[in-house]
């Protein structure tokens, strides 16, 4: 376990606090989804694609792809950091399949970096088990303490 995860609060309390932070983010009233962090460096988001999220050609708009991939990668990285909120500095996205109505899972996994910049990969898996998109993001520590954010409640 990295030093950040053992300093201050336990990893499990930190994971639950990040899940609560995610649930309280105002944007998630528009994109209903559930975050779970089961281990450091890995985050999973479950959500449903509904027709009200479609673009004009009848599949999920790219906004949904980006949001869920970015969130999964972000929380995979922030699971390693207990003191600061991370910020997305770049994100590359590859669309591989249109998403239509039904359940989808976004999985993010930390890939590298532990000091200032973090890198994570993420993918979207549709209800048939096929990958619909993948992305890689870079994230950096901000000056915003997690403890000051509404919804982050550790311990």
Confidence of residue 153 (pLDDT cuts 50, 70, 90): confident
Q: Indicate whether 121 pLDDT > 80.
A: yes
Q: At 8, is the pLDDT very low, low, confident or very high (cuts 50, 70, 90)?
A: low
Report the alpha-carbon distance of residue 65 to residue 61 in Å, rounded: 7
Measured over all CA atoms, what is the biggest interatomic distance in the chain, rounded to whole angstroms?
49
Domains of the chain from N-terminus onward: 3-148 (3.10.129.10)
How would residue 102 be classed by pLDDT, with cut points 50, 70 and 90? very high
| Cα distance from N-terminal residue to C-terminal residue, the chain | 18
Taken as a whole, the chain contains a residue count of 155
- pLDDT for 98 equals 97
pLDDT band at 2 (very low <50, low <70, confident <90, very high): very low
* Whether pLDDT at 34 is above 90: yes
Average pLDDT of the segment spanning 65-93: 97
pLDDT of residue 6: 36
| % of the chain at pLDDT higher than 70 | 93
Over range 121-139, report the average pLDDT.
98
* Beta-carbon contacts of residue 126 (< 8 Å; ≥ 6 apart): 97, 99, 102, 104, 132
DSSP secondary structure code for residue 151 in this structure: T
């Amino acid at each position: 376990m990295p030093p950040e995860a053992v300093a201050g609060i336990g990893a499990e309390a930190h994971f639950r606090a990040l899940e609560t932070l995610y649930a309280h983010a105002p944007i998630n009233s528009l994109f209903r989804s559930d975050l779970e962090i089961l281990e450091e460096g890995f985050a999973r988001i479950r959500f449903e694609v509904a027709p009200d999220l479609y673009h004009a050609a009848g599949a999920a708009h790219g906004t949904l792809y980006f949001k869920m991939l970015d969130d999964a990668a972000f929380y995979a990285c922030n699971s390693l950091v207990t003191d600061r909120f991370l910020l997305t500095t770049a994100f590359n996205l590859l669309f591989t399949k249109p998403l239509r109505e039904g359940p989808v899972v976004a999985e993010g996994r930390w890939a590298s970096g532990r000091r200032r910049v973090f890198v994570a990969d993420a993918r979207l898996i549709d209800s048939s088990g096929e990958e619909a998109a993948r992305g890689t993001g870079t994230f950096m520590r901000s000056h915003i303490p997690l403890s000051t954010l509404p919804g982050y409640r550790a311990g």
